[in-house]
Structure 1
Amino acid sequence: MLKQNLQFKLSQKLSPQQIQLMKLIQLPTQAFEQRLKEEMNENPALEGGKEEGDLEDDYEKDEFDDYEEDEFDRIDAEDINIDEYLSNDETPEYKLQSNNYSDDDDDREMPFAAPVTFHQDLINQLNTFILSDDDKDIAEFLVGSIDDMGYIRRTIQDIVDDLAFTQGIYTDEANVERVLHIIHELEPAGVGARDLQECLLLQLKHKTPTESINLAIDMIENQFEAFTKKHYDKLLQKYGISKELLKKTIEEIEKLNPKPGGAFTGNNKIIEHVVPDFTIRISEGELELLLNGRNAPELHVSKDYQEMLQGYKVTQEKSNAQKEAVQFIKQKLDSAKWFIDAIRQRQETLYVTMNAIMHYQQEYFLEGDETKLKPMILKDIADLIGLDISTVSRVANSKYVETPYGTKLIKEFFSEAMKNDQGEDVSTLEIKKILQNIIEEEDKKKPLPDDQLADLLKEKGYPIARRTIAKYREQLDIPVARMRKKI
């Protein structure tokens, strides 16, 4: 049975302006500049640069600030208050400028490289070989099967099947294996290997034979597991060699590149340069925060569009075409004013948030000692500045700050708190730094296992469990004790 009833419900809905602001806040400087260009291309009512006559204008509160109608709602042209858009009362530029913008805002244009791709380089090398048409087709297919690290991660049988189904090339495993040996002659050495063992062997066989190289080849071929697990005593006993020769052999293997393709792509890819969103300086013992000037563009509403509205206002007889034009102009002016307001709010939010972080971590920014970093979570900063945690997260996750100690990602300053033996809260970043220092200073012939690392940290006043040590060690990308061992 159908029934009608009334229901009251409270709900929260973000306005288009709020959504636009949140999206702008999370953009770093370079992405923000791109977004700015896109908006100016899409909206002819939005212009950049200083507006003529700004310095002569007096500031009055814009009546438009209270306007909350949806941008795409259409209202009758006669109901539009033209005077709201004609009033020349935008905030003068000189009243918006302050000294908290970095002077490092030069528009540096980076040249774009046009490198030859990894796979194209391999194809170019193949062209120097004399191959039959069938062998060339198979070789090019094998090159296409090589991943960015330089490996072929598929079995020969799978490749044979794919050649038949996708290329119409019917061959057998022996023939593909023969062509694969040609691929193994390409540079960089080791490319086209099917696993790490084969990759290392290919590189060793490209070297001039010496006693240590020959021993390394035999070791990788026949004692690979013992080598990877660093069972040096077993290797000494197996080959009956001196420690000096074993050490020299291991050094030869450590010089090899386990990711031959990665080295090529790493040297040829276009490098993205980080543009700091903030700069922190120390002036006479005091911290000074600057917002990158590229985050503070000079924007204003187009005078031409205001003049169009003026022309509509003085026209006695208004045609339908003119009314349609006014609807369009109104939408563009609304969008331009909303965007300008969002830019101003973005500047204020960025500055206020980073200023709070800077003062919260004042001791670190004055001295540069990572052990001085205080425990700090998003809620700490959100409570200080009266903003939502999600807003602080948007600022921290994608913004960089230039400090006297290097350019840092802001989210790296956030960490959980742990208690030391004095009952004081200390940052997990501080504990990780001390752990890293202990491991760097250990005797590599007898590296410290996690339980001994826990004991050493406990002696320093940090009662940390062994499993927590293991977690921090993995986060620092430090291997277990056995893998840190050196002969």
Structure 2
Amino acid sequence: MKPALGLTVSTNLVITPQLQQAIHLLQLSTIDLQQEIHEALESNPLLEIDDSDESGYSDAHESSGREEPQETTSHEPSDQSLSRDESTSRTEDHDEGPQADSQWEEQIPSDLAVDTAWDDIYTNDYMPPSGSGSHDEFEGPYERNDQEASLQEHLLWQLNLSLHNERDRLIGETIIDSIGLDGYLGTPLESLAEALQQQEATLADVETNEVAAILRLIQQFDPPGVGARDLRECLLLQLDQLPTDIPRLATARRMVEQYLEALASHDYRFLMRRLKLRNEDELHAVISLIQGLNPRPGSQITSETPDYIIPDLVVSRHQGRWRVELNPEAMPKLKVQSHYADMIRRADQSPTNQYLRDHYREAQWLIKSLQSRNETLLKVGSKILELQHGFFEQGEEAMKPMVLADIAEAIEMHESTVSRATTQKYMHTPRGIFELKYFFSSHVSTAEGGEASSTAIRAMIKKLISQEPPRKPLSDSKLADMLAADGIQIARRTVAKYREAMQIPPSSERKRLR
């Protein structure tokens, strides 16, 4: 073969930094997006928060029955403010003309091409705009400055108030370090004594009974039951700290000490016979007292920061029609400062002015990327509202089977785009706050040849269990038969899988006196 030159025509997707930014913003949760905006405001002097009344997004989609969602007028304040800035600057500095502006001002397309199978080409190489703020330094509006003390800190504080002997304090600190987050001591006392002998020269002669004495002191600390080595000891420690005049306290202590296994298996006849109780009312009073105890005392003391959810979309009923709109409290509203825009157009080609021009383009792309994100979320949310109309009207039992492909096909976007647009995005509805992925579920065939959502089936199982007689709870086989009577054919093991997913115990553990 001879070497030759030729021309070929092909279509390739070039993922520009601006496109990476739009994709990056699309996949962020609301709290992460607010942090990203905070960093952009610090690093870009041309950006500012738009607090004007007319700057809020009024995008909304409505749905009623099977009607297609109708889109109302969409206001894009950022583009409007940019247009006003441009017209004002061109009026004040008409000598340069539009031709001079076009030399440096980058044209932004009306629609950003964020819809693509970018799982194959997008990597996590995108770096957000650099600025003085960082993820570690930024403290969002829901960050807490006063972190709660951990369980170990809470116990050490009580230990320092109770012990003044250095030897006893070292033993107590070692015991507290071995207590888990649930409040239980998982290390044997013999092992603790050996560790202390090797750790400190002054404790070379420490014995197990000395460690046990300090442990008994710690077991009197708050929260009640801390430092226990098993469930029985944990419950007994809590019963010991209750007032002695509580009715049935002695019987409850005897039940925990001797018949905890029978209580776990709900062998009520055996318990009544052994404890010499006259009727079920007395047994119920004793069991209620035990059920009021905390089997995980360490859970009362936690240093974890709570996770807050800010919904991206809000669904409401307006004049008989369901309406989905962007959450105005969550959507950032940005604009370019007109004063700097005027300075850029009147200035020369100095490095300082070039610096402002670069930030002006970054601000334009950021605002357009945010608008594209909001439009994508609104499209996805409106289509979910349309396809899951029965859920909003009747609840979980009316949920229909739906997968990502259904939404992607309906709004003419790629599945990967829908997947990123529904991850960590939440919708506030009259029935609660749900992640958008909650509305997607697999389908199960019915006896009539139709399909039922797995979410709806779980709701039916939960409803049947809530209505079961407490003395004779429904088994998984019985639940499968009852669902079959309603036309939903599923196996017993499928019922068990759904029940376990909802963290509902089996029938043998759901048996109650009343």
The interval holding the TM-score normalised by the smaller chain is 0.7 to 0.9
Match of 1:151 among 184, 187, 192: 184
User: How far is 1:258 from its partner?
Assistant: 0.9
Q: 1:357 aligns with which of 384, 401, 409?
A: 384
What is the rounded CA distance, in whole Å, between the counterparts of 2:419 and 2:34 in structure 1? Answer: 21
Question: In structure 2, which of residues 82, 90, 102 is the aligned counterpart of residue 84 of structure 1?
Answer: 102
State the secondary structure of the residue aligned to 1:376: coil
Number of residues of Structure 1 aligned to a counterpart in Structure 2: 433
Name the counterpart of 2:363. Answer: 336
Q: Distance in 2 between matches of 1:465 and 1:279?
A: 37
Give the drift of 1:434.
Answer: 1.2
Cα offset for 1:346?
0.8
> What is the CA-CA distance between 1:306 and the residue it aligns to?
6.5
Q: Matched residue of 1:114: which SS?
A: coil
**Structure 1 residue 478 displacement after superposition:** 0.5
2:154 is aligned, of 106, 114, 121, to 121
- Cα 1:113/1:312, change in 2 over 3 Å: closer
| Counterpart check, 1:258 vs 2:290 | no
Q: Which runs of 5+ in 2 are unaligned?
A: 1-7, 53-77, 88-98, 111-139
| Structure 2 partner of 1:17 | 18
Q: Which runs of 5+ in 1 are unaligned?
A: 1-7, 61-80, 93-107, 314-321
Q: Deviations over 1:399-445 (max 9, x none)?
A: 22121222222222111111221111111111111111111111111
One-letter code aligned to 1:121: H
1:375 shift after superposition: 0.9
CA deviation after TM superposition for structure 1 residue 479, in Å:
0.1
Asked if residue 474 in structure 1 is aligned to residue 492 in structure 2, the reply is: no
1:384 maps to which of 394, 410, 415: 410
Q: Is the 8 A contact 1:24 1:32 kept in 2?
A: yes
1:461 aligned to 2:497? Answer: no
Output the aligned Cα RMSD. Answer: 3.4
Counterpart of 2:235?
A: 200
Q: Which residue in the other structure is 1:446 paired with?
A: 472
What secondary structure is seen at the aligned counterpart in 2 of 1:299? Answer: strand
Contact 1:382 1:389 in 2 (8 A): yes
CA distance in 2, matches of 1:90, 1:463: 54
- Residue 447 of structure 1 aligns to a residue whose secondary structure is coil
Contact 2:311 2:327 in 1 (8 A): yes
Q: TM-score, normalised by structure 1?
A: 0.79
Give the percent of matched residue pairs that are identical in Structure 1 and Structure 2.
30
Contact 2:388–2:400 (CA under 8 A) maintained in structure 1: yes
Greater share of residues in helix: 1
- The SS at the match of 1:126 is helix
Task: Provide the residue aligned with 1:248 in structure 2.
Answer: 285
Distance 1:44 1:159, change over 3 A: farther
Quick check: 1:28 aligned with 2:29? yes
Provide the C-alpha distance between the structure 2 equivalents of 1:161 and 1:12, rounded to a whole number of angstroms: 66
Match of 1:138 among 164, 171, 181: 171
Matched, 1:407 2:433: yes
Report Cα offsets for 1:354-376 as digits up to 9, x if no partner: 111111112322x2422121111
User: For residues 87 and 396 of structure 1, do their structure 2 counterparts lie closer, same or farther at Cα, with a shift above 3 Å needed?
Assistant: closer
Cα distance in 2 for partners of 1:121, 1:402 equals: 37
Distance in 2 between residues matched to 1:22 and 1:54, nearest whole Å: 24
CA distance in 2, matches of 1:284, 1:341: 33
Q: Is the 8 A contact 2:401 2:453 kept in 1?
A: yes
Amino acid at match of 2:168: D
Whole-angstrom CA distance in 2 between matches of 1:390 and 1:406:
26
SS of 1:160 mapped into structure 2: helix
For 2:456 and 2:49, the matched residues in 1 are separated by 45
Shift of 1:305: 6.6
Deviations 1:142-175 (A, max 9, x none): 2233233222222223333443455664433222
Q: Could you tell me which residue of structure 2 aligns to residue 73 of structure 1?
A: none
- Greater Cα shift, 141-150 or 441-450: 141-150
Aligned residue type for 1:347: N
